[in-house]
Amino acid sequence: MIFQALAFALTPAKMTEDSMFRGGPSHPGVSGSPAPRKITGVKWTFPTGDSIFGSPVSWHGAIYFGSSDGNLYSVDAQTGVQRWKAPTGAAVNSTPAVWNGKLYATSYDGRLYCLDADTGALQWKYFTNGERRFEAKGLHGMQPLRQTFADPMDMFLSSPSVSNGAVYFGSGDGNVYAVDAETGDLRWKFKTGDVVHASPAVAGGRVFVGSWDSFFYALDASTGKVVWKYQGGTDDFIHNQVGFQSSPSVTGNTVYVGCRDSNLYAFDAATGKPLWKSNNSGSWVNASPACAGETLYYATCDSKRFRAVIAKTGKDVFNVESKGLMMSSPVVAGDVIVYGTFNGFVEGRDAKSGEPLWNFRTKGSEANRGWVLKADGTFNSGLLGSKPFTPATFERQFTAGGVVSTPLVVEGTVFFGSLDGYLYAIG
Amino acid sequence: MLFPYLSLAIAMHQEVIDGRYEGLVHFSAYEQPLVLDIDHGGGGGAMRGSAVLPGLGVHGAHMEKIEVDGSKLAFTLQELGGISCSGRFENGHFLGTFIQSGNTANFDLKRIGPAQVDAPIKTPAAAFSPNLIGTWSGDFVFLYKRNLTVHISNVNGHGAATFVVKGKRTSTFNPDLILQTPHFVQLTDSPTGITIEAHPNSKSNTISARVTISGIESDVVLTRTKESK
């Protein structure tokens, strides 16, 4: 047990590069570069053919990201000019990982892609058993109740994490995969009971990831064998309060993860013992937490709460209302926290007090093409909440230029994708 | 001395027109963002271009049937069902009309920077690994059982391949896109969209492949034919 504790203690709490989802395989969510305390405007925008769900990452002066138009992109960080574009067979609603000069990304075509990060040249593809969204009868109370619906809010694919020469990712086929980063050969796969669209966190020889089967797993990174597992909430009625969509963050010997059962959990990484949980009265915690020093930051979904808690105890430091519901995960960049909202804002807040410093609204949110936002940019819940509650109710919200992408901060510039199809660089 | 001035004039004209243009197409019900990239990077300095329609899944649709007349430009986006555009360049703007299946909408695009024309993916000039050279064959199911035979070779140091699908009838394909690394091979026949994606297994001396026909995927394990061993 001493060795295990030592291994976790050696896990870096701060990321050293921004070339992976949440800043590295342990998903700290802490940027090595401070965010501005005020912004002056847009530096550049880059148009893609469709919505951007995943997050940008940076490597060697380039910004890498995927789009629902089916392409992976590399653009120059300074100018926004395209360096290369590489097609996949379907929407790339995941965040790429760049490691050792290679780029790894998942696509709705059910493949893990490996490309040369400098040129975009295809290196290999690994085939899973195919993608699908989480689905259930009468999901979220949608009509008709006996109909099986794919979950519109299961919007992300699992973003790969790369560590020790292996690429770890989850799939709609229910498996967690470990694939050799060089050759694309399968090392192991572990079958869960449902869709895995969270991004695995890798630390201390363990792979941590949750599934829509209601369980959160700690797997041996070398073999894929279960070390421990924990069952979150279940919901056999409308399947609304079940599943781990949030990707975990590992700091020291603690794993933090949000759940659709409305809790943010803290587990002992070695044993799986629950240390504390922070409840949100029914509101999902789908975004991933960020841990900086002694403070853990996390965002809720429909209750629109942005919370800072003491990492050791889960006690509130601050609990403030954001401009919209959040699927975007916060990044801690110096003394500023940055995150996006589903109605198309990106907010910068003081990391200590939670006070708002600035906000930015996307073109898509300003355009309000689906007429779902009020003049102040908040959702018109009366209009959206009209019965019957159907998939169209969700789809209309996707027209609001939302930001579900996790912002990336590099040298004072904030990069993020929007559902309006643009990648933004602001500062 | 006339020719240098003429080419300078052409260069200046190109400089004015070449660029990325962004703005809105004003449909009756809503406004659609449109981005056009135009430059003279085609063969012999010919004009070429591509289009982005954010929200409609379109990035890099290639301009075809390009017609230039002074400051006027017309083109079609054939791969988008024959959308056509025509307009004129004026003070850093491209003003024109967007025609889609008889629907007409005006657009006003502003030049915002240098062109970023999307070029189509081409087969790189690379040779196949020696371990892949030969003829490989295996059965797969697409509605019913079929056989796939793939011939892989190097011609003048460049990878070359053909594949044959044998079902109720036999069809031979000469893929126009060949992508390959030591760990992966992709053969695409663009006219039919049939694609073979293959991962060599060095331990078993087989190739695990996925055949995509009309968007439907079938897995096949290819082994060397007796003649190829």
Which residue(s) pair with A63 in the sheet? A58, A75
What's the whole-number mean pLDDT along residues A160-164?
Answer: 97
Please state, for a pLDDT cut of 70, what percent of chain A lies above it. Answer: 96
If we measure between CA atoms, which residue out of B163, B165, B158 comes closest to residue B179? B158
Q: Is the predicted pLDDT of residue A390 greater than 90, yes or no?
A: no
**CA-based nearest residue to A380, from A390, A389, A393, A361:** A393
Q: Which residues from A are below 8 Å from B179, CB to CB?
A: 121-122
Six-digit token pair at A273? 């013992």
In chain B, which ranges are continuous DSSP H helix? 2-17
**Residue B216 one-letter amino acid:** I
- Neighbour-count burial for A106-143, b at 16+ CB within 10 Å, e otherwise: bbbbbbbbbbebeebebbbbbbbeebbbbbbebbbebe
Beta carbons within 10 angstroms of residue A198's beta carbon: 29
Please give the pLDDT value at position A7: 43
**Residue A9 pLDDT > 50, yes or no?**
no
Task: Supply the mean pLDDT for chain B.
Answer: 90
Mean pLDDT of B78-85: 92
Q: Report the DSSP beta bridge partners of residue B90.
A: B93
Which residue of B21, B184, B204, B220 to mutate against A (max A Cβ within 10 Å)? B184
- Please tell me the distance from the alpha carbon of residue B64 to that of residue B68, in angstroms, as a whole number: 12
pLDDT tier at B100, thresholds 50, 70, 90 = confident
For the sheet containing A206-210, what is the strand order?
A201-203, A206-210, A215-220, A226-231
pLDDT-derived band at A386 (thresholds 50, 70, 90) equals low
Residues 6+ apart with CB under 8 A from B210: A127, B196, B197, B198, B217, B218, B219, B220
User: Per residue in A79-109, pLDDT tens?
Assistant: 999 999 999 999 999 999 999 999 999 999 9
Could you tell me if A129 lies within 8 Å of chain B, comparing CB atoms? no
Q: Which residue has the tokens 């699992």?
A: A158
Q: Which of A175, A166, A181, A171 is nearest to A193 (CA)?
A: A175
Q: What's the pLDDT band for A11 if we cut at 50, 70, 90?
A: very low
> A394: burial class by Cβ within 10 Å (0-12, 13-18, 19+)?
middle
pLDDT at A18: 74
Whether residue A125 lies within 8 A of chain B, CB to CB, comes out as: yes
Burial class (CB in 10 A: 0-12, 13-18, 19+), B217: middle
Q: Assess whether pLDDT exceeds 90 at residue B157.
A: no
A184 touches chain B (CB under 8 A): yes
CB-based contact A125 B199, cutoff 8 Å: yes
DSSP string, A146-164: TSEEE-TT--PPPPPEEET
Chain A neighbors of B219, CB-CB under 8 A? 127
**What is the pLDDT averaged over residues A338-345?**
98
**pLDDT score, position A199:** 98
Token pair belonging to A24: 């590295």
The confidence band for B15, taking pLDDT boundaries of 50, 70 and 90, is low
| Nearest C-alpha neighbor of A52 from the set A418, A424, A346, A425 | A418
Mean pLDDT of A265-292: 97
Residues in A 80-119 with any Cβ partner in B closer than 8 A = 81-82, 85, 87, 89
Substitution target in A46, A67, A122 with the highest count of B β-carbons within 10 Å is A122
* In contact, A162 and A153? CB cutoff 8 Å: no
Q: Give yes or no for a contact between B108 and B24, defined as CB atoms under 8 angstroms apart.
A: yes
| Residue A3: per-residue pLDDT | 43
**A381-389: Cβ within 8 A, 24+ apart:** A388/A143, A389/A140, A389/A141, A389/A142, A389/A143
| pLDDT given at position B120 | 79
pLDDT tens digits along A68-83: 999 999 999 999 999 9
| CA atoms lying within 13 Å on the CB side of residue B167 | 9
User: So what's the ipTM on this one?
Assistant: 0.88
Q: Please check the confidence at residue A305 and state whether its pLDDT lies above 90.
A: yes
Token pair of A229, please? 């597992």
Q: ∠ CA(A81), CA(B176), CA(A110), 5° rounding?
A: 65
Q: Hey, is A200 helix, strand or coil?
A: coil
Put simply, the answer to whether A122 touches B186 (Cβ < 8 Å) is yes
Q: Which residues of B touch A125 (CB under 8 A)?
A: 184, 186, 197, 199
Q: Are A219 and A177 in contact (CB under 8 A)?
A: no
* Mean pLDDT for the stretch of residues B91-98: 96
DSSP states of A81-107: -EEEEEE-SS---S--EEETTEEEEE-
Compute chain B's Rg from CA coordinates: 23
